[in-house]
Amino acid sequence: MISYIKEYFDYKTFLITCTLVLIGLLSIYSATFNVNNALNFYRQIIWGSIGLVIMLVVGFIPLRTVQRLSVPFYFLMLFILLIVLVIGITVKGSKRWLGVGGFGGQPSEFAKIATVLAFASYLSKTDVSLAHFKHFVLALLIFAAPMSIIIMQPDLGTTIVFFATLVPLLYWAGVSNFILVAIIVPIIVAGSALLGTTVFLIANALGAGLLYFFRENRFAAIVVFGITLAVGLSVQIGYDRLPLYQQKRIATFLNPGADLLGAGYNVVQSKIAIGSGGFLGKGYLKGTQTQFNYIPEHRTDFIFCVFGEEFGFIGSAIILLLFSALCLHGIRIATLSKNRFGSLAALGLTVILTTHAFVNIGMCMGSVPVIGIPLPFLSYGGSALVSNMMLSGLLMNFYTNRKEY
């Protein structure tokens, strides 16, 4: 029995996921303890229980069934995303929620999983190759369709997660280095445009060097550099069209002290909370920043600072180690899987988790802009928790069937 579990049951993903969920429940209870808002805590327990069932069910579904259902699941999520644009609930300037009678969720959380599965399913076909232009474009469209809908909500954070997932998947699928550079360089140059003329010029020079080094032909390199330059020069136009709250978030990231009582308030208070925790923390339910509600979003986007303040450096390190172990194990599953669908899907799902964890913790520490990305398994929210536990169940499935061709 023990040998069977060791061989076929992915106890690492299961135990790490359950541990992170329990840490999340402890943190949410603490975050709502002083405001008598226990309803959020009990709701999270319910969603966690539902997520546990879904995780185990998904973990034992035959791999071929998962692959067959991936395309219908993808189109179902596209349809739901379109419905959200029409009748969705607007929260903080973004129409990304779908709710009925006080219950609802964020469909984009499941759309990320559906997109990765559909992408992996398409590229696992024997007659599909990214070396063919038609196949490459169709693969990009699988990602472009949900991204286009989500950015219209607008939801910049989720759009970034989609893009961050696409690039490693293309690499894992075997696309050429030049294509990867051609995708990444315009993004780097666009970001540098916000940092001043000198940084922008340096980024363009480095981008040109990379494009020349990895070139497949000179004409293609020149065209991509022209597109890169145009993207960089148009950044200011795009920035001016962003919602005001997103402009403030970017401006606060570039200059954290510019608006300490406005857009920068959450980040400043979060850094104070994490720093004041010291090495061992202030003790459970004894965090001053948390218990006195200095951080408005401490049960959702800034849940990391709750645990960091109460359990200090040790507590923060435990969370980081758990996420690192889960991400490394996910990459190992992708490497071990002999099934192309399982390998691609495992990598894509792992990147989703990694991106969420990296960006959210970076938000709390002021190292990346605040873009409203929850911390997997810890942040309050039913759709995020259930979708992430479903994601863990899929990783368990791919591990169980890693020897299947």
* Domain total of the chain: 1
Q: 31: closest CA among 365, 292, 257?
A: 292
Q: Taking all residues of the chain, what is their mean pLDDT, rounded to a whole number? A: 87
In a domain, 74, yes or no: yes
In a domain, 219, yes or no: no
Name the pLDDT band for 64 (thresholds 50, 70, 90): very high
In the prediction, which pLDDT does 100 show?
A: 55
Q: Has residue 253 got a pLDDT over 70? A: no
Most confident of the ranges 150-154, 273-277, 296-300, 339-343: 339-343
User: Which domain range does residue 345 map to?
Assistant: 2-154+258-400
Q: Has residue 1 got a pLDDT over 70? A: no
Sorted by sequence, the CB contacts under 8 Å of residue 235 that are 6+ apart come out as: 190, 193, 194
In a domain, 51, yes or no: yes
In a domain, 200, yes or no: no
Name the pLDDT band for 273 (thresholds 50, 70, 90): confident
Q: Is the pTM of this model over 0.75?
A: yes
Q: What residues pair up with 99 in beta bridges, in sequence order? A: 104
3-class SS string, 262-319: CCCHHHHHHHHHHHHCCCCCCCCCCCHHHHCCCCCCCCCCCHHHHHHHHHHHHHHHHH
Q: 377: closest CA among 140, 28, 134, 42?
A: 28
In a domain, 144, yes or no: yes
Question: β-strand 94-100 against 103-105: which pairing, if any?
Answer: antiparallel
In a domain, 165, yes or no: no
In a domain, 179, yes or no: no
